[in-house]
Amino acid sequence: MLVRWKLWLPAAILLMVLVGIAVACGGDDEEASPTPTGPTGSPSPLSGKLEIFSWWTTGGEAAGLQKLYQLYPQQCPGDVQIVNSTVAGGGGDVARQVLSSRMQGGDPPGSFQIHMGHELLDSWVASGDMESLKFLFDQQNWANVFPQGVLDIVSKDGQPYSVPVNIHRANVLWYNKKTFTDAGLQPPKTFADFFTVADALKAKGITPLALGDKEAFASVQLLEVTLLGTLGPDAYKGLWTGKTAWGSSQVTDALNTFKRMLSYTNSDHASLTWDQANDMVIKGQAGMTIMGDWVDADNKAKGFTNSGWVPSPSTSGTYDALSDTFGLPKDAPNRDAVICWLKVVGSKAGQEAFNPLKGSICARTDCNKSLFDPYLQSAMDDWSKDSIVPSLAHGAAASPAWAADISDAVTAFVASQDVGALQGRLSTACKDSGVCS
Amino acid sequence: MSKGEAAGPRVRGGLPRLDWKRARRFVTSERAIGMGLIVPSLVAVLVFVYGFIGWSALVSVSNWHNVNPDYTFVGLDNFRDLFKNFRFQIDIRNTVAFTVLFVGACLVLGLVLASLLDRYIRGEGIFRSIYLFPMAISFIVTGVAWRWLLAPRAGVNLLASKVGLSGIHYTWYTDSTVVYVHQGSRLADALDAIGLGFLADPNFGVPLAMISVVIAATWQMSGFVMVLYLAGLRAIPKELKEAARVDGASELQVLRHISLPLLRPVTLSAMIILGHQSLKIFDLIVSMTGRGTGFATDVPALFMFESTFRANNFSRGAAVSIVMLVSVSVLVIPYLFWSLRRESRL
């Protein structure tokens, strides 16, 4: 008896451990997914759960998302229960990681928020995990409502893969109206104007350009608007397709301009975030900041009414766009409910409900202007007529790996000021991404 | 041959025979319970530590550079590209600078505090607790607090200006200056003469922004070193020190010739513990300075994080983590052997 007992105790414990591991790794049984019914014609009553995955957790963004959820039952009759899956944190970084593990594990949410352009196309579309939305775009006649520029950005080989719900602009120069009137200055239109204004501000002891690049995207965005201003929209777009050579003299000019602009920024930019840089403009310590139009929401939140804006130097007539979009994963649970969600997101009512709260403009060109504040109204005017180019810093122009290489090159440049090295690294980054040869 | 004879290898017909009697005597009830209690943890460690290390090593020799896994074997290409990567070279420099400064500062400060506390003063317990408290905070909290303290527009600079020292506008962790031997200087020529001319390069310098991070890290860990040294100092027999004092040694000489040599094991332990922490430092950097201007405060762990989770470059991230593992092993494994040998000798 004693002899047997000595051996079965550890054996029993080992068995318990192994059983525990087996149960934990067994996983849940997949819910029987409804057989795909293809592009739905008539709206049949929907049911079940619809999981929407995003990083809109606070403020206007969350409020706008809730508005969309309220609109959903009106456009999609039935009793679909919407599950608001959000992951908080920093511009979606954490959310993207969670999404990545879910997609690779074969457990996609119904639909997820992702930036338009290569952030989606080079990841989940390239891996074959997303369905083409051509049927939906044709059915909803969205080709007549979204500008061709944005259709180009969300499509790969002519097939659109996501529906843009909002549009932000990256090439905006914000300035303090009072500072400018006191100094007798006009907001700059071209790079030459910019440097004249900057010198005048510097002479008065005001930092010409406030930069807050604790988050690396801020300097990358400054580089992108400089490239845009120097090269123009077509050559800029060519950088991302391999048509424009990164080693060309035009790019060298742009990089030298970038270097010159950096010389007019505050020296402690590495410790400030973009909104702290905006604080400098609000307080009159700085004259201008070049940042996306989320500055408008920041100004409103801080009660700053003396804000003026112009397109960033030499980019008038060009809209450097970034957008949050929703797509259709291939094994999305409750596919019909997801398709109806995409319809809501792309609809006039949906975009009019969401965008005023978020502080962005509709991706559609037919939204009601009176719902938006003065800056957004002027942005909507520009949106319907400007040339649209994809933003680098926000996932539209280049894949995340390429964008990360560019970000590293820019960070090194901000300290070394070596234009040759920067240009070399940018060329190498293009080759490493596979776009340049 | 009878069964009970403890003869040579119990071989029968050329094969070693299992001695069940001896085995049964080995597996006593205490040992069985002990083994049974260890087995779950053992399995967990084998799977979740060594299994995953093996997996990382596998990924580091794969071609996985996008969200889609690609396990094609590419040999050491990822490692070769890594050491050629300009950012990783800067990371190595930063890690060396941070390790040397951090470990050095902690050892010195810890020893000073321990010597001061060794005097059996009143309230020693209170002071010990105060110096040890920072260790209870996570590096994230330390990072955020010191980020505010050393922000160029606020914190220490603001305090200095309010007190009247308005000239202090130091850039702290936003400083991109790297102190290195410049080409053409006399020191560079001297190094050239002995064949070490390549050291006159920014890649072998000290980034001044790291000093801010070292301040935060030292504030956190010097209490721990102080406690180690205090224990070490208390273990030194008083008679040795008294004998030295009787012979006319000053306090400093007592410290230098008696205490410090006897504190060598403590110093080594502290160096190893701090060293392996500094090689892997991540949360302090991420919460305090990010990558810094011109990567002045970038470290391999941050590079690994950004490669894997921002750039989706899983193979490169895995390669960085394997390099970090090897560097920590080089530090820790000899120490483990040394301390185990010491214990077996005692």
Residues of B in contact with A415 (CB under 8 A): 176, 293-296
- Work out the minimum CA distance from A384 to partner chain B, whole angstroms: 33
- What lies within 8 Å, CB to CB, of B326 at 6+ separation is none
Is residue A100 located within the same domain as residue A228? no
CATH 1.10.3720.10 boundaries in chain B: 93-301
Is residue A119 located within the same domain as residue A250? no
Q: Write out the DSSP string of A346-415.
A: HSHHHHHHHHHHHT-B-SSS---GGGS-HHHHHHHHHHHHSEEEE-TTTTSSS-HHHHHHHHHHHHHHHH
- Quick one: average pLDDT of A209-224? 92
ipTM over 0.90? The verdict is no
Residues of A in contact with B309 (CB under 8 A): 93, 96-97, 100
Supply the pLDDT for residue B29. 81
In a domain, A28, yes or no: no
Cβ-contact A50, A80 below 8 angstroms:
yes
Supply the pLDDT for residue A105. 86
Is residue A134 located within the same domain as residue A201? no
| Burial label, A48 (beta-carbon count in 10 A; 0-12, 13-18, 19+) | middle
Supply the pLDDT for residue B150. 92
Q: Of A274, A167, A283, whose CA–CA distance to A222 is shortest? A: A274
Which element (helix H / strand E) includes A102? Answer: helix A93-104
Q: Of A392, A384, A323, whose CA–CA distance to A358 is shortest? A: A323
Is residue A56 located within the same domain as residue A197? no
- Quick one: average pLDDT of A252-260? 96
Report d(CA B215, CA B297) in Å as an integer: 13
Is residue A196 located within the same domain as residue A326? no
For B150, nearest residue in chain A (alpha carbons) = A271
Sign of CA dihedral A416, A417, A418, A423: positive
* Residues of chain B contacting A, Cβ within 8 Å: 24, 27-29, 32-33, 35-37, 39-40, 43, 47, 65-69, 86-87, 90, 147, 151-153, 171-174, 176, 289-296, 306-307, 309-313
- Quick one: average pLDDT of A381-399? 94
Residues of B in contact with A400 (CB under 8 A): 310-312
The domain covering B93-301 belongs, at the CATH homologous superfamily level, to MetI-like (1.10.3720.10)
In a domain, A127, yes or no: yes
Interface of A with B in 215-254 (CB under 8 A): 215-216
Is residue A329 located within the same domain as residue A345? yes
Domain extent at residue A383: 46-168+322-390
Residues of A in contact with B291 (CB under 8 A): 216, 411
SS3 (DSSP) at A310:
strand
- What lies within 8 Å, CB to CB, of B330 at 6+ separation is none
Sign of CA dihedral B130, B136, B141, B147: positive
In a domain, A15, yes or no: no
- Work out the minimum CA distance from A12 to partner chain B, whole angstroms: 8
Q: Of B91, B59, B113, whose CA–CA distance to B231 is shortest? A: B113
Other beta carbons less than 10 A from residue B22's beta carbon? 10
In a domain, A161, yes or no: yes
* Residue-wise pLDDT tens digits, A105-142: 889 999 999 999 999 999 899 889 999 999 999 999 99
Q: Where are the alpha helices (DSSP H) in B29-181?
A: 29-45, 52-60, 77-84, 86-117, 124-132, 139-149, 155-163
For B88, nearest residue in chain A (alpha carbons) = A408
In a domain, A306, yes or no: yes
Give CA separation, B281 vs A121, B54, B228, B275, in Å: 34, 22, 21, 10
Asked if A270 lies within 8 A of B311 by C-beta distance, the reply is no
**Does A211 contact chain B (CB < 8 Å)?**
no
For A19, nearest residue in chain B (alpha carbons) = B40
Is residue A316 located within the same domain as residue A258? yes
Other beta carbons less than 10 A from residue B326's beta carbon? 10
Is residue A251 located within the same domain as residue A352? no
pLDDT tops 70 at residue A270: yes
pTM (two decimals): 0.85
Q: Of B343, B293, B93, whose CA–CA distance to A410 is shortest? A: B293
Asked if B307 lies within 8 A of A404 by C-beta distance, the reply is yes
In a domain, A425, yes or no: yes
For B151, nearest residue in chain A (alpha carbons) = A271
Q: Of A422, A395, A118, whose CA–CA distance to A256 is shortest? A: A422
Mean model confidence pLDDT for chain A:
89
Is residue A187 located within the same domain as residue A231? yes
Supply the pLDDT for residue A8. 74
* Residue-wise pLDDT tens digits, A322-370: 999 999 999 899 999 999 999 999 999 999 999 999 999 999 999 999 9
pLDDT tops 80 at residue A3: no
CATH number for A159? 3.40.190.10
Supply the pLDDT for residue A381. 94
Asked if A6 lies within 8 A of B173 by C-beta distance, the reply is no
Supply the pLDDT for residue A37. 42
Give the residue carrying structure tokens 């301009």. Answer: A257
Q: Strand pairing partners for B206?
A: B179
- Quick one: average pLDDT of A233-257? 95
- Work out the minimum CA distance from B3 to partner chain A, whole angstroms: 20
For B43, nearest residue in chain A (alpha carbons) = A17
Look at phi and psi of residue A262 and say left if phi exceeds 0, alpha if psi is from -120 to 50, else beta.
alpha
Which of the 8 DSSP states describes residue A222?
A: H
Is residue A316 located within the same domain as residue A326? no
Is residue A150 located within the same domain as residue A238? no
pLDDT tops 90 at residue A309: yes
**Does A1 contact chain B (CB < 8 Å)?**
no
Report d(CA B169, CA A392) in Å as an integer: 34
Cβ-contact A17, B40 below 8 angstroms:
yes
Asked if B69 lies within 8 A of A104 by C-beta distance, the reply is yes
In a domain, A289, yes or no: yes
- Work out the minimum CA distance from B71 to partner chain A, whole angstroms: 15
Supply the pLDDT for residue B76. 93
In a domain, A41, yes or no: no
Q: Strand pairing partners for A54?
A: A86
Which of the 8 DSSP states describes residue A248?
A: S
Report d(CA A205, CA B234) in Å as an integer: 60
Residues of A in contact with B289 (CB under 8 A): 270-271
Q: What percent of chain A has pLDDT over 70?
A: 93
Which element (helix H / strand E) includes A189? Answer: none
Is residue A269 located within the same domain as residue A374? no
pLDDT along chain B (346 residues), means of 10: 49 64 75 90 95 96 87 93 94 95 96 89 89 93 94 86 76 86 83 82 88 96 95 91 89 86 91 93 93 92 92 93 94 86 74
State the total domains in chain A. 2
Cβ-contact A56, A86 below 8 angstroms:
yes
